[in-house]
Amino acid sequence: MSRSSQGPATIIIDTREQEPYSFDPRLAAAVRRALPAGDYSVEGLEERVAVERKSLDDFVSTVIHSRSRFREELRKLAGYRAACVVVEAGVVDVLLHRYRGDAHPNAVFGNALSIILDFRIPVFFCGNRQAGCHFTQAYLLAAHARWG
């Protein structure tokens, strides 16, 4: 299906997302609705495309302290055509321990690598929240252009 016959994309923001991104309304509409997995998806692809958003503190807490619950979410996402984890921080932020808690940076990276290698879900360290928002929007719009 060509992009012109699809119509504009609608980004779905999960109702449980506590700090939702604000997307460019000229590029896509956004609505809040419960998603089966992830924090963001595209209308019509809700069970095939997802982005899981994490602040650095949340990522560290989740992979260290809520590992089994998060692995259940990752198992769902692993069945998707395209899914990723967006971390609102850079690699240097992990290396310099710019997060709460006493987890060693190697443990944080080890868990990120486990997500990538065990579940085949990429983890993107996007630098900051604004870059994470831009990346998420671009990722979802690209998925919509390909499979929407």
For the stretch 111-136, pLDDT in tens is 999 999 999 999 999 999 999 999 99
Whole-number Å distance between alpha carbons of 101 and 106: 13
Averaged pLDDT for residues 85-100: 98
* 41 vs 3, more confident: 41
Whole-number Å distance between alpha carbons of 136 and 21: 9
Question: Which domains, and CATH codes, for the chain?
Answer: 3-147 (3.40.50.10130)
* Helix or strand run (H / E) with residue 56: helix 56-65
Whole-number Å distance between alpha carbons of 112 and 131: 19
Whole-number Å distance between alpha carbons of 88 and 91: 10
Strands 28-32 and 9-13: parallel
pLDDT of residue 6: 64
For the stretch 26-78, pLDDT in tens is 999 999 999 999 999 999 999 999 999 999 999 999 999 999 999 999 999 99
Residues 6+ apart with CB under 8 A from 91: 125
pTM for the structure as a whole = 0.94
